[in-house]
Structure 1
Amino acid sequence: MLFSLKSLSSAMALLPLVVANIQDIQTRDNTIERRLVEPVIAINPTDANFGISAVAPGRFVTSADGTKIFAEARGNPSKPAIVFIHGFGIGAMAFNEIFDDPDWLSQAYMVRYDTRGHGRSDKPTTAAAWVSQRLAEDFDAVVQSYNLNKPFVLGWSIGGTHIADILSFHPPSYISGIIYDAAVPDTASLFNVGAPGAIALVPSLIQTTNVTQFQEAYIDFINLCHPALEWNFYLACLGDGVVQPRAATALLLARTQNSTGLLQAGTSGALPLLAIFGADDKVVIKQASLDAIPGWQRLTVVTLPDAEHFTWISRPVLFRTTVLQWISQNA
């Protein structure tokens, strides 16, 4: 009987916790604001996630092909919506510092998700699961789940390529604007936009025969993103790389896109674009990124001094001010 009670207790611990998704939060100026916060749900073990079992704020949404995508929203639903799309290897937890910042929470409604193959989302390893339409449908599932209307989309690093997917299957009016943060605009430009030190790591990151080689390369990659991350966050970044199948990594880097819709949205003046770069970025080459979007009419380029590839960690106040002021001008 004792064993049964313990088993019941363990099972209950993994059930979604029943919490109100509206919370009163004291801001830095001592005012009280009511903000939406996701309930905490269980992340159950699945083959796709290598037995991950944990709890986290957020929800699973189902993409058109059945892939489960983990997403989370925080902030003020009355403010402009921003969907954050993370970069290579590191899931949506990359944006923890932003999603925990009261100033961000009071001025935006922020949604983030683990793109397929990353973090808590499913990790398909067939080529059919990585065609452009599938990734656009993942974004659609998140938009529909949170009832977003013309959100701004922030793509960090290789996360910027997802915006080309979105605009291949939707008109520019589907979103309000694009924020490229040290971004790769499309997969065709990946090996031009990537800095030599980062590109040199790719063979070691996708091979499956030498564990030490992979481990050293992924550590080197995280250190290229930022040389002095807080220890627990650093470990979390490494952890996201470990749970990603190497086959998914290879498919992510090898997939192809049609960038016509993206470029037409820019050259026609249909969408504004804010391109942010870190002056000390060792992963992405600024000019090569801009060269990949020639003729963009409504373009704002900002370079953050002394900022690494993790721009918002390097210069949190300047990054926040840059993004939110631009959004206020384009909302």
Structure 2
Amino acid sequence: MLIPGLITQRLRSDDGTEIYAEALGNPSLPSILFQDRTLLSHAYLVRYDLRGHGWSGKPLDDEGNESIRYAQDFMAVAAAFNLNKPYLFGWSFGATIATDLCQHINPAPLSGIIYAAPLPYIGLFMKNLGKPEIAPVREALMAPDVATVMDSKIKFVRSTFLDPDVVDYPTVAAWVGAGTYISGEGIRRAITRPQDPAGLFAAGKAGLPLLVLVPEEEGRIRHLCVGNGRSLYAW
């Protein structure tokens, strides 16, 4: 469906990987790298498909999945849409990009970070996150055969809802369908790539604003939200 006013670009990151990005709204408003049309009266919204996902390129080698590549992708999108220190809105795995930026660019080129049910960074602590039933699904998502990966994607999508049986079929089908754009090997590369959260913690201590949005059912993530006096936490 064509969205009036939507601007799309296919960019090239520093290593040549193609990055698909979209923008909507008034460029003179504060910019947020995210898309939610209910915010259009307050912000200029830009979203992009992370490398390995959606319509962006999908490198499967070690170099193509280094942390700095993800930071370069963000900067390429910011430059293409003339964004000056935008707010980064990161949901789930998308939240990890803040760590990439803070690790490789100092000071971080952000006005603030908005986390929604986030995975702040990749590491061994991931085993302690999420519902108990996620662990076996996570392993199956990286399986070499397509049938196992697809079955696991359905289970994973259902696990993201508090009560999946009351969610309408088109919504579930859309979420599962979006997941078909990344292979099992692509998932493995994404969730095992190296990251160092030291820069993220340092940025928080230096005053980078942080807003964390999590439902009460996920209150156990609160101990991961390390910030400073300017950080905000919302439930």
Tell me the TM-score normalised to structure 1 length.
Answer: 0.65
- CA-CA distance at 1:197 after TM superposition: 2.2
**Structure 2 contact 25–40 (Cα < 8 Å) conserved:** yes
2:228 maps to amino acid: W
**Structure 1 contact 155–181 (Cα < 8 Å) conserved:** yes
- CA-CA distance at 1:173 after TM superposition: 5.1
2:23 maps to amino acid: A
For structure 2, list consecutive stretches of 5 or more residues without a partner in the other structure.
none
Cα separation, partners in 2 of 1:214 and 1:106, compared to 1, 3 Å: same
1:34-59 CA-partner distances (Å, limit 9, x unpaired): xxx234xxxxxxxxxxxxxxxxxx21
1:86-135 CA-partner distances (Å, limit 9, x unpaired): xxxxxxxxx5xx23x3xx11111010011011111111111211110001
3-state SS in 2 of match to 1:201? helix
**Structure 1 contact 263–293 (Cα < 8 Å) conserved:** no
Matching residue within 159, 163, 179 for 2:114: 179
3-state SS in 2 of match to 1:206? coil
* Identity score, percent: 34
**Structure 2 match to 1:199:** 135
Cα separation, partners in 2 of 1:266 and 1:287, compared to 1, 3 Å: farther
**Structure 2 match to 1:140:** 75
**Structure 1 match to 2:224:** 292
**Structure 2 match to 1:70:** 20
Aligned-partner Cα distance in 1 for 2:13–2:94: 18
- CA-CA distance at 1:194 after TM superposition: 2.9
**Structure 1 match to 2:49:** 114
- CA-CA distance at 1:263 after TM superposition: 0.2
> 1:225 aligned to 2:163?
no
- CA-CA distance at 1:172 after TM superposition: 3.7
Aligned-partner Cα distance in 2 for 1:210–1:174: 39
**Structure 1 contact 81–152 (Cα < 8 Å) conserved:** yes
For structure 1, list consecutive stretches of 5 or more residues without a partner in the other structure.
1-18, 24-36, 40-57, 85-94, 304-331
- CA-CA distance at 1:192 after TM superposition: 2.6
Root-mean-square deviation over aligned CA pairs: 2.1
Aligned-partner Cα distance in 2 for 1:233–1:296: 37
> How many residue pairs end up in the alignment?
230
Higher relative contact order (CA 8 A, sep 6+): 2
Cα separation, partners in 2 of 1:266 and 1:210, compared to 1, 3 Å: same
